[in-house]
Amino acid sequence: MPKIIVLPHVELCPEGAVIEAESGVSICDTLLANGVEIEHACEKSCACTTCHVIVREGFNSLAPSDELEDDMLDKAWGLEPQSRLSCQAKVNQADLVVEIPKYTINMVKEGH
């Protein structure tokens, strides 16, 4: 079973995490199911960039992004060549190392 290794993020995952992942499930859903409360303002419909992650290892194991995801990623803060929207990137067979950027385009969260 592949793993997602989440690098430490001050607010969402201060200690980092190693999560068992199921192939075919999005990075976003896997993180949320394991207590990493990554933002997903558009409810995972590929209409925002708040679930942006940088895939530091295992990027090439992911299916390529489509045009809609690429268009949305162009609006993401801190975009890098290995950036993906975690709601669109589905875990395959390889382990992934992901970094959640320090900032998102949606800096204000409701209820916090």
Residue 109 has pLDDT above 70, yes or no: no
Q: What is the pLDDT of residues 42-51, one digit of tens each?
A: 999 999 999 9
The burial class, CB within 10 Å (0-12 / 13-18 / 19+), for 93 is: exposed
Q: Which CATH number fits domain 3-99: 3.40.50.410, 3.10.20.30, 3.40.50.720, 3.30.360.10?
A: 3.10.20.30
pLDDT band at 15 (very low <50, low <70, confident <90, very high): very high
The number of helices, as runs of H, and strands, as runs of E, in the chain is 2, 5
The CA distance from 15 to 2, in Å, is 20
Model's pTM, two decimal places?
Answer: 0.91
Q: What is the mean pLDDT of the chain?
A: 92
pLDDT band at 92 (very low <50, low <70, confident <90, very high): very high
